[in-house]
Amino acid sequence: MSAALLAGRRRLARTIPRKYVPVLVTAGLFAAMFVAGGVRYRGFADGQVVLNVFVDNAFLLVVAVGMTFVILTGGIDLSVGSVVALSTMISATLLTGHGWPAPAVIALVLAVGAALGLAMGAIIHYFEIQPFIVTLAGMFLARGLCYTIGTESISITDPAFTALAQTKIRLGGGLWISPSVVVALIVVAVAAYVLHYTRLGRDVYAVGGSEQSALLMGLPVARTKIAVYTVSGFCSALGGVLLSFYMLSGYGLHAVGMELDAIAAVVIGGTLLTGGSGYLLGTVLGVLVLGLIQTIISFEGTLSSWWTKIFIGLLLFAFILLQRLIGARRR
């Protein structure tokens, strides 16, 4: 009996490559959480509950997409939360205080985010400084710039922003999503295409697998590393724009700790922290798992919001151990 079971496991292992295991585990975890919530809580199994997870976390999904690019190269970006907050402050100040048109504000915010990411990527590569230190400096810089703009929350009353914030895209059957969800899904689709069907995507995986080997193969390591931090800065700024739609305000304390949420979503989604392996689908599932944890705690009603952090911490431990076991078996 045990021999038959062992043979079955071996056949399953040959059928499912190990690189897909973390993503499948995350998908299974999400499905199990949703089923358990549907059994325990009345109304939890409604399709709008899942859509609300997308609505409430569209900005985090965009930020996590940028973080995926960085982690795939073996780097890290601690500045994303601060760049999100800076984007909300710039948007609110220019829209409310100076009367700028919304398209111009959005274009400026995205340019600022991309420029910050490009600068950090260039410093990391050309000065050979650890990404942790450079992006930590970027985090303090962006958060400090928020407070030079203002220390209080600034409301956004621009008609274009207000209209987008209140728009509901009807899907039929009483279901709806926000325009931010559409933007986030477009970002995911474009990023997935870039990672899996373009030269830049192949270079990202190659640099993450081994930077020295990538150099020996003649791959543009400098351009790739700078590009991923530029993408991360752009996605952070876009996430800030979506958060401005969601909150209709700019505030220096927005998105505190969002960099950790983004890293958690990427890791829970199966991307290796050492780089070279991971999928954007996993990142999407990671964001959904984090959002579903918050939803379950809300339905429970008796648990503090801090339990969200506890559950996320436990999941991170589990997935880091899973990554370690998969890596050990490969060797």
DSSP output for 158-205: -HHHHHHHH--EEEETTEEE-HHHHHHHHHHHHHHHHHHHSHHHHHHH
Please tell me the predicted confidence (pLDDT) of residue 153: 94
Residue % of the chain over a pLDDT of 90: 70
Tokens, residue 38: 């549907």
pLDDT at 329 over 70: no
Query: What is the tens place of the pLDDT at every residue in 73-89?
Result: 999 999 999 999 999 99
State the Cα torsion 232-238-243-244 to the nearest 10°.
140
Examine the pLDDT at 187 and tell me if it is beyond 90.
Answer: yes
What is the spatial distance between Cα 115 and Cα 110, in angstroms, rounded to a whole number?
A: 9
Domain ranges of the chain: 20-330
* pLDDT tens string 21-63: 888 888 998 999 999 999 988 888 888 998 999 999 999 999 9
For residue 330, the model assigns a pLDDT of: 52
CATH level 3 topology of 20-330: ABC transporter involved in vitamin B12 uptake, BtuC (1.10.3470)
Say if CB 86 and CB 110 are below 8 A apart: no
| Residue ranges of E strands in the chain | 154-155, 169-172, 175-177, 249-250
pLDDT per residue as tens digits for the range 232-265: 999 999 999 999 999 999 999 999 999 999 999 9
Residue 1: its pLDDT value, please?
Answer: 43
Average pLDDT, the chain: 90
Q: Is the dihedral of CA 176, 181, 182, 188 positive or negative?
A: negative
Average pLDDT over residues 103-131: 97
